[in-house]
Structure 1
Amino acid sequence: MTKMFGTNGVRGIVNKDMNVQLALQMGKAIGSVFTGAIAIANDTRLSSDMISSAVCSGLMAVGCDVYDIGMVPTPALQYYVKTHDDVVAGVMITASHNPPEFNGIKVIEGDGTEASKEKEGEVEEKYDEEIPTVAWDKVGNIHKVPGAGEAYVDAIVSKLDIPMIRKAKFKVVVDCANGAACFTTPLLLKKLGVRCITLNGTPQGEFPGHPSEPTEENLGDLKKLVKDTKANLGIAHDGDADRCVFVDNKGNYVPGDITLALLARSIVMANRGGYIVTPVATSSLIDELVKSAGGEVVRTAVGAPIVSRKMMEIGGKFGGEENGGLIFPDHQHCRDGAMAIGRMLENICRNGALLKQISTIPVFYTEKRKLTCPNELKESAMQFLDQNTEGVSKNKTDGLKIMFDDGWVLARPSGTEPIFRVYAESKDRDRAVELADQYETMVRNFISSA
């Protein structure tokens, strides 16, 4: 188990956990594990230049050339790495949805996927060593590479039914969250013939519009503007734009579980079957819709790299997480917020307005709770829950999922923050609340008494 890399890279508060000394050594470690040219990119955070410069210095110190593609979404870097044979890996400077005082370092393998736990482990081992540097005449160089965002958008457009989307004459509102999607998503929609109204469309690392996590409570302006402008759809990204969530044409926030299930059903129908891959935290709605369309759901631990690698292993047709991270393997095996927009527009063209589609599916009630939990208490909290749920059907794929006849609870510590999450689901709203209350109280009491 890696001690520095969480679910999505190494993250921390800038100039505390995430400082230039760490970034320099991390650059040297990455460059020692992935020998060759490395591509690097960043989101809009104020500290990105500082952290990126330190990582680049470490990479060049061990002899790696660096291709800096600038401020682009994480999946744009992944596409660049995947499509350039002279690049052996990538580094994304981002903390995704975390507050602006955070930043992070995410490693991308040569095939464009997020680094496996094995590769992250190799980087950590090297990080702890005294890493030798190369001679003065063997240091790497840095090359600024323009146009990577545009190439990424063009690749997405090439996969979509452009005439069908243009014919629909969509009007959408996009909340770019002052993040990495500020240029690429409006460009994508322009190329698709979609009228795009933008919110928080300037790159500002303080995230002045709202926190960069696209949760319902952060998207009040988007919901209102969709209604006020009579738009067909609202779209919201996180900070590095590998995720997106939607708002229907009446201004209702659409949970990521529903988006995932609707697109999964559509893709299974188009492929006449197939595997859909998603973590244990995803709503049971996806099981019902995928099964009804002739497909099969495969569950994994939480984390996009785990989902994508399982998809590659079994030939999954589609996958994703309940947080809006969707993976389309015909494009690339990683979460891709911009491709999700294109596929959702196609889905609406074929199956009707999002609100109409939602009205025809079963209703599951999900309660999501988040507790502050010191990292050193996470393991013992899990043991406490496990010991106090004897005799109940349990799944330990990731965290502890406790199954009941009328619902389930998932207790799981965050891999990136000092947070403990409790999810509960049932077709009965009161039962979902009851389960969430019960297990949240158990965790809270344990933490307070520890």
Structure 2
Amino acid sequence: MTARIDPVTAGVLAGIVKAYDIRGICPEELSPTVARGIGYAFGEWSAAPQIVIARDMRPSGVSLAEAFADGAQAAGVDVIDIGLASTDLLYFASGHLGMPGAMLTASHNPASYNGIKLCGPGAAPVGAGSGLGEIAERAAQGASSPLGGGRLSRRDLLETFAGHVRSFVDVSGLSSLRVVADTANGMGGLVVPAVFDPLPFEWELMYGELDGTFPNHPADPIQPENLVDLSERVLSTGADVGLAFDGDADRVFLTDERGRAVSGSLLTALVAQAMLRRDGPGPILHNLICSRAVPEAIVEAGGRPVRTRVGHSFVKAEMARTGAVFGGEHSGHYYFAGNYRADSGLIAALIALEQLSAAQVPLSELLAPLDRYASSGEINTRVADVDEVLRRVGAHFARFAHDWLDGLTIDGGDWWFNLRPSNTEPLLRLNLEAPDSEVVGERVSEIRALLA
């Protein structure tokens, strides 16, 4: 039965509405009451007869999903609930069913958090500048007289999704690779077996139990400490490759047969070349903190690299504008035109395994031609005044080529860096690349002195 839709206070919304999604501590910031209000606002904003929703394995997701669905029904919208899902499964459902979608997840955040990722029909992005602000405004208004009348139904799309993921590769060309997948008690424990079970891999699942308290390690594979268990298992079993998924399983990172982490840039370059061989020359997207090896690899494979801002809404918009078949981000997001321009770590992983099967060499050897530069990794620094510090750094490096596409990017010839502000905190994020680690260290020290 539909409950009253109360306004969500501006203070609460200011704390949980981010650039790309909604995220906060439960229930202090994101409560069922707040979720109900956002569900109503999303249903009203979408003006669609139906929406599809899903949730991850966090304990708070049950009540939040129920409340969100209740709010959408109060707006007169029918809700199709596909239950437990990865975020890329929800995006697939949005594209497959042709309707807006909502995923209840906080991705890689700790267990105390939850959130809501929204999309339009066909997995179209909903973020800052593409509807999220208007939805927040509607949530703040509430509804004195909810329409009601929306119906709730349930549907299982897991096997349909798994078949869709496998359609991106030639299954007959896959070899019996030894694969270890660490899903960190996240939604990969549901979707990875559905995709991999029919394939010829000798594969093992680590931490596959769905447990939103994350009892083994955080579901954030971009942090090296969260790859330790996977690396050790790859080495102890003699596996060919390790796969590490985040909490909602839309991102993936790899380790090679030596247990060494593979950067998101290297996987972007590998998949980009595979897509160009399959689909022919054309534009391929990469965000501006990807290694220079990525655009170089794209050109070498006959493609045209297109540089974008960081973030899924920007990448998806550029894919639509350019007609690109693929786009990659250093953070482990990989976007496919054939996947409704949405990102999927599973698809990227499967394409990488297809390339490894064809090459018949160790992964480290396959990637060696693409591993060309030394990198600082992302260095976060808290500053008092983001804009003032950016101006100071820009002035210091004014003699070099630079742009402000997303923060400040300086091109020093054989080295470069990007310094951009966080969307949620008074932080500056530094990514720097150079020919070797010595130059990286020198330039990082120079920039850190300016940040102090």
Deviation of 1:89 after TM superposition, in Å, equals 0.7
Deviation of 1:418 after TM superposition, in Å, equals 5.6
Q: In structure 2, the residue corresponding to 1:105 is in which secondary structure?
A: strand
1:76 aligns with 2:107: no
1:99 aligns with 2:110: yes
Deviation of 1:143 after TM superposition, in Å, equals 1.8
- Show structure 2 runs of 5+ residues with no match: 1-12
Worse-matched range after superposition: 334-343 or 108-117:
108-117
- Show structure 1 runs of 5+ residues with no match: 446-450
Partner of 1:448: none
Q: Distance between the aligned counterparts of 1:311 and 1:66, measured in 2? A: 29
Partner of 1:422: 430
Decide whether aligned partners of structure 1 residues 350 and 40 sit closer, same or farther in structure 2, where only a CA change above 3 A counts: same
Q: Distance between the aligned counterparts of 1:268 and 1:329, measured in 2? A: 13
Partner of 2:181: 174
Decide whether aligned partners of structure 1 residues 436 and 132 sit closer, same or farther in structure 2, where only a CA change above 3 A counts: farther
Alignment of structure 1 residues 268-417 onto 2, 5 Å = 268-352=276-360, 353-371=362-380, 373=382, 377-416=385-424
1:154 aligns with 2:163: yes
Partner of 2:80: 67
Decide whether aligned partners of structure 1 residues 101 and 121 sit closer, same or farther in structure 2, where only a CA change above 3 A counts: same
How many positions carry a matched residue from both structures?
435
Partners of 2:286 and 2:295 within 8 A in 1: no
Q: Distance between the aligned counterparts of 1:434 and 1:278, measured in 2? A: 27
Of 4, 20, 25, 1:13 maps to 25
Q: Distance between the aligned counterparts of 1:421 and 1:149, measured in 2? A: 37
Q: In structure 2, the residue corresponding to 1:236 is in which secondary structure?
A: strand
Partners of 2:37 and 2:142 within 8 A in 1: no
Q: In structure 1, the residue corresponding to 2:124 is in which secondary structure?
A: coil
Deviation of 1:329 after TM superposition, in Å, equals 1.5
Partners of 2:35 and 2:68 within 8 A in 1: yes
Partner of 1:121: 133
Partners of 1:159 and 1:331 within 8 A in 2: no
Q: In structure 1, the residue corresponding to 2:370 is in which secondary structure?
A: coil
Decide whether aligned partners of structure 1 residues 173 and 14 sit closer, same or farther in structure 2, where only a CA change above 3 A counts: same
Decide whether aligned partners of structure 1 residues 5 and 395 sit closer, same or farther in structure 2, where only a CA change above 3 A counts: farther
Partner of 2:208: 201
Decide whether aligned partners of structure 1 residues 242 and 417 sit closer, same or farther in structure 2, where only a CA change above 3 A counts: farther
Per-residue Cα deviation, 1:312-353 (whole angstroms, up to 9, x for no partner): 211112111011111122233111011112111111122343
Deviation of 1:429 after TM superposition, in Å, equals 1.4
Q: What is the percentage of aligned positions where both structures have the same residue?
A: 29
Deviation of 1:306 after TM superposition, in Å, equals 1.3
TM-score by length of 2: 0.90
Partner of 2:191: 184
Per-residue Cα deviation, 1:32-75 (whole angstroms, up to 9, x for no partner): 10122111111112221232222222212222221111111111
Partners of 1:92 and 1:107 within 8 A in 2: yes
Decide whether aligned partners of structure 1 residues 282 and 288 sit closer, same or farther in structure 2, where only a CA change above 3 A counts: same
Q: In structure 2, the residue corresponding to 1:410 is in which secondary structure?
A: strand
Which amino acid is the alignment partner of residue 321 of structure 1?
A: E
CA RMSD, aligned part only?
A: 2.1
Per-residue Cα deviation, 1:178-233 (whole angstroms, up to 9, x for no partner): 11111110221112222221111101111122111113221111111111111111
1:89 aligns with 2:97: no
Partners of 2:177 and 2:357 within 8 A in 1: no
TM-score by length of 1: 0.91
Decide whether aligned partners of structure 1 residues 322 and 297 sit closer, same or farther in structure 2, where only a CA change above 3 A counts: same
Q: Distance between the aligned counterparts of 1:122 and 1:379, measured in 2? A: 27
Per-residue Cα deviation, 1:379-413 (whole angstroms, up to 9, x for no partner): 45434444554343222111111121221111112
Which amino acid is the alignment partner of residue 411 of structure 2?
A: M
Deviation of 1:286 after TM superposition, in Å, equals 0.5
